[in-house]
Amino acid sequence: MRLIRIKADACKGCGICVAFCPVKVLEMSGGLNVRGVHFPVTVENGVSKCTKCRICMIHCPDFAIVVDQE
């Protein structure tokens, strides 16, 4: 099971998750989703740095991010 699940096609590319992540685990991808916008991805080794604070998930207006607790 992955710690951070990103529903790329639900994202509108606002970047709020990237801006609010306190440990900078997320960045905007170079690819585009079905809406034609860049979506967040985890940085290299980002999942191991994630503190599971869920700030990205809480602030996402599109509910495109889920942070698993285990």
- The rounded distance, in Å, linking the Cα atoms of 54 and 68 is 9
Q: Tens place of pLDDT for every residue, the chain, 70 residues?
A: 468 999 999 999 999 999 999 999 999 999 999 999 999 999 998 888 999 999 999 999 999 999 997 7
CATH class, range 4-67: alpha beta
Q: Is 2 left (phi over 0), alpha (psi -120 to 50) or beta?
A: beta
User: Residue 62, exposed/middle/buried by CB under 10 A (0-12, 13-18, 19+)?
Assistant: middle
Map out the domains of the chain as residue ranges: 4-67
Instruction: State pTM to two decimals.
Output: 0.89
Cα separation, 24 vs 42, in Å, equals 9
Q: Which residues pair with 26 in a beta bridge?
A: 42
